[in-house]
Amino acid sequence: MHRAWNGWYHVTGSTYGTWLRGDPRGWRTRRHREHVDGDYKHPPERGTFEKTHERSRRLLKKDPIYFDDAQRAAAGRALVEKLLQTGAELLVLSQDACHYHLLARFPDGEARRRVGVAKKHASHVLRTYGLEGRVWARRCRALPIRDRTHQLNTFHYIENHKTNGAWVWTFRDVS
């Protein structure tokens, strides 16, 4: 894995049950232990992993979690609040119906652990919106930022999620 430029990471994740093994949009096994052709930009040939996806859906303990607008805002605010509280230098965060993206500097390099703490906090907040039990998919993906250009491109990419209905927070929103 590459080292992150100045401790910056692009972290992505999803809600429970919304991106499964065998997904027709493409998918990856943990640490790429199994080679899977395709990704969300170039999905695998239709039907290639249909049985795998069906098995993944059957194994779910409950229905997949999709946030409505109020839940997106609550989850996003809770993630921002906890990340800032734990010392992350957050530039931008977007939360849509089932995915989040964030760009932050984690001085200790503990991106996944800190995001896990923030997800736990958001889960507690979301109880007031009727979401009980597991809300988030396990883990998150922490991609190291390579340089300033990569950081700026990532910032704009995440910020532009608002054009697709995502709740978006940026460092400019701090009072």
Q: Are residues 51 and 128 in the same domain?
A: no
DSSP H helices in the chain? 50-59, 69-85, 111-126, 148-159
- What is the C-alpha to C-alpha distance for residues 109 and 129, in angstroms, rounded to an integer? 32
Q: How far is CA 70 from the centre of its chain?
A: 18
- What is the C-alpha to C-alpha distance for residues 71 and 96, in angstroms, rounded to an integer? 9
The number of domains in the chain is 2
Q: Are residues 53 and 74 in the same domain?
A: no
Q: Are residues 79 and 133 in the same domain?
A: yes
For residue 127, what pLDDT is reported?
95
- What is the C-alpha to C-alpha distance for residues 53 and 46, in angstroms, rounded to an integer? 12
Q: Are residues 114 and 50 in the same domain?
A: no
21, part of any domain: no
Q: Are residues 43 and 83 in the same domain?
A: no
Q: What is the CATH number of the domain that holds 90?
A: 3.30.70.1290
Q: Are residues 106 and 136 in the same domain?
A: yes
24, part of any domain: no
Q: Are residues 52 and 90 in the same domain?
A: no
In the beta sheet, which residues pair with residue 103? 10, 92
As averages over each run of 10 residues, the pLDDT of the chain (175 residues) reads 85 82 58 62 65 62 88 97 96 96 92 96 95 89 95 97 96 80
158, part of any domain: yes
In the beta sheet, which residues pair with residue 142? 11
Q: Are residues 45 and 123 in the same domain?
A: no
Domain of residue 108, residue span: 5-16+66-173
162, part of any domain: yes
Q: Are residues 37 and 86 in the same domain?
A: no
For residue 21, what pLDDT is reported?
59
